[in-house]
Structure 1
Amino acid sequence: MTNDSQTSDTPSSPTKKVATDITPPRPEKIARKAPEVQKRDDKRELKAKAKEERMRLKSERSAARGKKNAEKSRAKQDKKIAQQEEKTQITKVFPSKTHWKYFPVMLRTWERRTLFAAGFLVAIGLVLAVIGAGRTYLTALPQNGGDYVEGVLGQPETVNPILLAKDADRDLAQLMYSGLMRYDSNQELQPDLAESYEVSEDGKNYTFTLRQDALWHDGEQVTADDIVFTVQLMKDPEVKSPRQADFQSVAVEKLDDFTVKFTLTKDAFVPFLRENTTFGILPKHIWQDVTPAQIPLADENLQVIGSGPFLFKQFRRDTTTELITSYELERNKDFYGQVPYLDTFTFKYYSNSEKLLSDFEKGRIDGIHTLSPAQRAALPENKLDNWNIMDLELPSYFALFFNQTKNEALKELEVRQALGASLDRQRIVDEALNGAARVTNAPILPSFLGFNPEVAGLEHDDAHAAELLDGAGWTLNEGNSFRTKDDQTLTIEVVMPDHDPFPRIAGILTEEWEALGIEVNIVALDSALLRTERIRPRNYQTLLFGQSVAHDPDPYPFWHSTLREDPGLNLTSYKNPTVDDLLETARKEANEDERVRKYVHFQNELAEDLPAIFLYIPTYTYALDTDVKGVDMNAVTFPSDRLADANFWYRNVKWRPAPQEESEEATEASTESDVVTESEATEERTTDEPTEEVAADEETSEESTSIEEEQTEPSPNEES
């Protein structure tokens, strides 16, 4: 059969006749494949089955992992839910941060105040507990380092142990020089340069063996030659040492390089060991080329070479006034005793107390050399806790010394008695000294051998004073303010230092004497002028001044007639043969009872002659910052004695655990082993004044460029 028209899904194409085979294929030929094709198909089928198996296994593993993860997720969710439930329970007990934020708002005012006070007390208790625990289980050991600056009213002049006359000079000498013996902070005599000493049975020979580790600040060794040289200088009249009389009858000799012997050439002097062995020793190799007359003017008086615990570093001068404004010392690392803890010890000098107190309050200085009653009253109460203020009674007295050779009226006993009777000494103590003193009637003071409280004193009695003057012919005529006699007015000139408290004392005595009809002229001088122009030439009628008794009550230097002229210390030109004999025999009397009897007799003679009006015994007040530790001051004879153990003062400490049980000896030993550690020096202090600086080992001075503040009223506080 022929099919002429045939449809097709393909695009139409030009008509073409094709021959068609309509013979059916053979069955066996259709079902049968070639071997190569069959093999290929089998391989494909195997691969398909393997793939299907892998997919099945992968699906099973994935299902297993999903199940495991689901279990973990459920466990984690359960745990989170449990934690949330626990947190919810805690939140129900303790407020959240948000709740605490609004807590103060919910309280009433009194509740807030109560809660604050309770919290404050708890905090204070915790702090105190920590501090208490620290003090209980820790101990502080002094360490090297730190500086100390002390304010002084006045300035130094001659830092020479054989010429000392001012407190400012004594302070520096105390720190830079050494003696054969020394007084400690309890005023007990201790060996210093002397390693040992022997006293002969008759009390006339004193032999000292020197320690061999003592060095001068320039490295030279201290020997017996230095001791002999110093004593010979003091005895030389050209030097004019205030101690010349103390060694006039003393011979000194060198036995060997480290042994020296003193021999009293006349009589034994009982107080010799206490009074004549503590003077500072000068280095012979420094001073031997200076003539005796030039010694008071030598540069070495300020650029000191000594053997004490501190050595000279530098001093500064005001470039305008040439006054010394500061003097700096530093630790002597080669000192034979306790090496100082402090790096530097500086004295800063002031011309007026206002600037001194101002710097103390502002912390520019750490201490005040001497705090007068007026200065102490001016200290702010709110700062007293920061200062350590010590009050000690000085073994000294202040008096009105009469020079009868300069005023004819003063030669009359009745006039001197009237002056004493009209003066209210207790008022002086209460008003001029703010109670920081006590009245005295004699030059031998309480606690000293020979003190007699029954010595006749001057009772305040204006009526009796007027009777005495009337009886002496000094009458107060109508219309006159002052008493006269033979057309001569009764006039008294009083010379005194110009610093506190003397002007206030002068105000009281002027008021009381003028009320009696006595004309009073007050002459107040700077201490340097007072000494050079008035005291040394004895150019005064009445002198308001003080005298220090030293460590022994021996009044010989102040009242024996041979010491009426400079450099003697008899300020009244007093001469009484009976008194001279009593003083001469008492100082060589070994029997204390007999010595007391002589001193009582001496005081009675003095009360009858009345060469002076004894006023008061002063109280010495010293102030320093509480940060300065190791200050142990129980007694002083001179204000400079406060520095007797300054090498033990410290500012730096190291803390260590305190042992539960420790003997005093073990504690001291451990302290000595620990104090040698060096610590860094504290910040260097600066000065406000324009200064000229003189340093150790320098020949020329170096000027500072800072600005001078106040230098107007020099007024050193001192005693004769």
Structure 2
Amino acid sequence: MTVAVLAVPIASMIGIVGKATAADEERVLKVGFMQKIDSLNPYLGLSDAAYVFYSLVYDYMQSVDNDMNAVPNLATESRIVDVAGFPHGSVWEYDITQNAFWHDGEQVTAEDIAWNFNLNAMGANYTDMWAYQPYMYYAKYAEVMDEDTVRVIYYDRETGEIIPCAYAYLIGTPMVPKHLLGEQSTSYISFQWPGYFANSDPKLVGTGQFKVSSDLISEFTNGDQITLERNENYHWLADRGMEIKFDKLIMYFYDDDTAMKIALEQKQLDVAQFPPNTFRSIEDDIAAGSLQNVDTYSGLKCTQYWTEIAFNMNIAGPNKWRLDPEARHALAQAVNKTYIINNFYKGYGKEGTGLISPVTPFWHWEPSAAEHWDYDLTVAAAALQAAGYIDTNGDGWRECTVTSAAVQNGWSLEGSKLNLQMMIRMEYPEEKEIAKYLQEQWALIGIDLSYDIMLEDVLAKNAYAYGYDSMIWYWSADPDPNFMLFCQSKKSIDGWSDNMYTNPAYEENYSASIREFDETTRQEYVRNCQKISYQDAAYILLAYVYSTYAWRTDTFSGWGDWGADPARSLDAFWTANPLFFDLEYIPQENPPFPWVAVAAGVGVAAAVVVAALYLTRRGKKQREIGGDEGGSPLGD
């Protein structure tokens, strides 16, 4: 009798485990990040993870296709219109889709779009709404022409002159809901709004291909994950016949890249970008056959991403000798970029030169052999000597002498030592190693470098206070060169500029590039800007650091070729990433129990104990590494 009683739950458990079907499964894409979303407010966030999040829940006017060309999004057409008395290219009209709805059910209107432009651009609004200034600096105002058409006039904000605007085909500004924010001040929206609405359903209201879940606030506060749900009414189905074919996307945030690798191995993640060391280990495991059903991609990032040594050009900070271009030229020749890429980025990068990445080769500039800052410590030391930075007391460290520009311009006192402080991001361990290497290298030419490691948001606050010496940081930007070039223009000082750089020749070429519609002529202006920036060495670009992604091929198909189609990368933050429309979930088999049916009588009771123990341990492991799709791989 005991045998019969005990046999029933075993059979029941086997039946329960075996009856799950593909129809019962939620199709969940699980994405790992080594950065966190620093703000839900799209006017406050700085991290790339934040910009990816904004691209999932908001729409921009245009998007970017696989090949990094602008394609319609909320604007189904973007065109120049000729108006009497206005220069050609200064007036643009945008036709707005009639199929887009805010996540709370309100329809998107031309009035919404015009309000968003004017919120960011008109008059004093521009100063408060700093986050999208690279797009809005040249926008004068927007007006509604009819129910689905918005007209925008472009001008030079400094002179008031109406001018052509060559980049107006790609406006990367998230459209936020007027019906919920229209009564708020620009200072509230830009600096105080938490990014959600306490009394709204859902709490965050955009128009993007994903909506936030009811757990948004608690998840964001906890910091481990953000759960997004497919927007079943996304306008691309009506506009373009395209829709997302999975139910949820969960963003998981990690402090430990080893834990993220384990999560990928155990199907707790479908895709993630890994630091160079861990990515190398993943590729090694795949080659050895110990990691299966995982594919990888390493190559130039579609977002123009590069890292740099930045020098603060403000007349502030502890060691102002850095303001001397001759001193910076010497430092540029004391940076072995090849060594840095091979040893700290594990070969996953290309030597940095121009402000525009070679991922957009038409705009990218490369120095000639004569222009290139070659790594040569002997030449670097001689340059410092010639510039008046001399070791006057034989202690191995150089001092500012009376002949140096630092003393002559009043930046440094005669006899002051060539010290330099550098800020380093805690979240990127390879940058600590780079700083340590630079410290050793620069000591060989008489410069005493010290570095401070801090959280990225602390580094950002310090950078934008313009009181530092130097730092290793990064930039991401658009396929169009305007965004990046603006951020090194004087027009972005007290906004996006993180180093207060300006140069009259740079400004002249940048301004000309905005007005120029002939691509070959515009290319010349864009490349001139990069050459001037390179020669000034206010940035020493270290590397165009590669994307280093790994993904599972047994949970989703449709990943595509990221080398041939760079904007499929999860880095892409221009809304409506083409990758998401192609991904298809692969139904999963439930894992079998690790025990075999036991003969009646002798072993049945033991089998039940084993089964219970297995389920208990399995449940604990799920809590430890994330468990079902609703839990975090980081644990409770």
TM interval, shorter chain, is 0.7 to 0.9
**Paired residues of 1:494 and 1:543 also in contact (CA < 8 A):** yes
Note the 1:258-657 alignment, pairs <5 A: 258-265=148-155, 266-274=162-170, 276=171, 278-295=172-189, 296-301=191-196, 303-315=203-215, 322-337=221-236, 338-368=242-272, 370-379=273-282, 380-381=285-286, 382-394=289-301, 395-404=304-313, 405=315, 406=317, 407-446=319-358, 447-455=360-368, 456-476=371-391, 480-485=395-400, 486-498=414-426, 499-532=428-461, 534-554=462-482, 555-565=484-494, 567-569=495-497, 571-626=498-553, 627-632=555-560, 633=562, 634-636=565-567, 639-641=571-573, 644-645=577-578, 646-652=580-586
State the shift of 1:588 in Å. 0.8
Against the structure 1 CA distance between its residues 299 and 318, is the aligned structure 2 distance closer, same or farther, given a 3 Å change threshold? closer
Query: Residues 162-201 of structure 1: CA distance to partner in whole angstroms, max 9, x if unpaired?
Result: 4442111112222211222211233232211223343225
Answer with 589-598 or 464-473: which moved more: 589-598
Query: Residues 338-381 of structure 1: CA distance to partner in whole angstroms, max 9, x if unpaired?
Result: 3321111101111222322222222222221x222112123234
Distance (whole Å) between structure 2 residues aligned to residue 506 and residue 709 of structure 1: 33
SS at match of 1:272: coil
State the shift of 1:310 in Å. 1.3
**Paired residues of 1:317 and 1:325 also in contact (CA < 8 A):** no
Residue 85 (structure 2) aligns with: none
Q: Out of 135, 146, 150, which is 1:246 matched to?
A: 135
Answer with 230-239 or 510-519: which moved more: 230-239
**Paired residues of 1:145 and 1:652 also in contact (CA < 8 A):** no
Query: Residues 19-57 of structure 1: CA distance to partner in whole angstroms, max 9, x if unpaired?
Result: xxxxxxxxxxxxxxxxxxxxxxxxxxxxxxxxxxxxxxx
How does the TM-score come out when normalised to structure 2? 0.75
State the shift of 1:460 in Å. 0.9
Distance (whole Å) between structure 2 residues aligned to residue 391 and residue 293 of structure 1: 41
State the shift of 1:443 in Å. 1.5
Note the 1:101-140 alignment, pairs <5 A: none
Distance (whole Å) between structure 1 residues aligned to residue 528 and residue 195 of structure 2: 45
Q: Out of 97, 103, 109, which is 1:211 matched to?
A: 97
SS at match of 2:496: coil
Query: Residues 47-83 of structure 1: CA distance to partner in whole angstroms, max 9, x if unpaired?
Result: xxxxxxxxxxxxxxxxxxxxxxxxxxxxxxxxxxxxx
Q: Output the amino acid matched with 2:323.
A: K
| RMSD, aligned α-carbons | 3.1
**Paired residues of 2:38 and 2:45 also in contact (CA < 8 A):** no
State the shift of 1:436 in Å. 0.6
SS at match of 1:623: strand
State the shift of 1:501 in Å. 2.3
State the shift of 1:305 in Å. 1.0
Query: Residues 127-161 of structure 1: CA distance to partner in whole angstroms, max 9, x if unpaired?
Result: xxxxxxxxxxxxxx999951111111132132344
Distance (whole Å) between structure 1 residues aligned to residue 142 and residue 266 of structure 2: 51
Query: Residues 247-299 of structure 1: CA distance to partner in whole angstroms, max 9, x if unpaired?
Result: 1331211123322111213211112103x2x4321111122233322224324
**Paired residues of 2:138 and 2:165 also in contact (CA < 8 A):** no
In structure 1, the gaps of 5 or more residues are 1-140, 655-682, 696-703, 711-720
Distance (whole Å) between structure 1 residues aligned to residue 548 and residue 399 of structure 2: 43
Count of residues in correspondence between the two structures: 521
Distance (whole Å) between structure 2 residues aligned to residue 605 and residue 197 of structure 1: 32
Q: Output the amino acid matched with 1:552.
A: D
**Paired residues of 1:143 and 1:650 also in contact (CA < 8 A):** no
Distance (whole Å) between structure 1 residues aligned to residue 444 and residue 460 of structure 2: 31
Against the structure 1 CA distance between its residues 225 and 346, is the aligned structure 2 distance closer, same or farther, given a 3 Å change threshold? same
Distance (whole Å) between structure 1 residues aligned to residue 217 and residue 131 of structure 2: 27
Q: Output the amino acid matched with 1:342.
A: F
Distance (whole Å) between structure 2 residues aligned to residue 238 and residue 584 of structure 1: 20
SS at match of 1:400: strand
Note the 1:180-191 alignment, pairs <5 A: 180-191=61-72
**Paired residues of 1:144 and 1:342 also in contact (CA < 8 A):** no
In structure 2, the gaps of 5 or more residues are 1-21, 83-87, 156-161, 198-202, 237-241, 401-413, 589-618
SS at match of 1:434: coil
SS at match of 1:489: coil
Distance (whole Å) between structure 2 residues aligned to residue 584 and residue 578 of structure 1: 10
Distance (whole Å) between structure 2 residues aligned to residue 495 and residue 650 of structure 1: 43
Against the structure 1 CA distance between its residues 285 and 324, is the aligned structure 2 distance closer, same or farther, given a 3 Å change threshold? same
2:76 matches 1:195? yes
Query: Residues 486-532 of structure 1: CA distance to partner in whole angstroms, max 9, x if unpaired?
Result: 33111111112122321121122111011222111112221111112
Query: Residues 661-702 of structure 1: CA distance to partner in whole angstroms, max 9, x if unpaired?
Result: xxxxxxxxxxxxxxxxxxxxxx9x965599xxxx9xxxxxxx
Note the 1:38-49 alignment, pairs <5 A: none
How does the TM-score come out when normalised to structure 1? 0.67
Against the structure 1 CA distance between its residues 539 and 478, is the aligned structure 2 distance closer, same or farther, given a 3 Å change threshold? closer
Residue 118 (structure 1) aligns with: none
Distance (whole Å) between structure 2 residues aligned to residue 653 and residue 203 of structure 1: 51
SS at match of 1:516: coil
State the shift of 1:448 in Å. 3.5
Identical-residue share of aligned pairs (%):
19
Q: Output the amino acid matched with 1:497.
A: R
Note the 1:17-166 alignment, pairs <5 A: 145-166=26-47
Against the structure 1 CA distance between its residues 575 and 331, is the aligned structure 2 distance closer, same or farther, given a 3 Å change threshold? closer
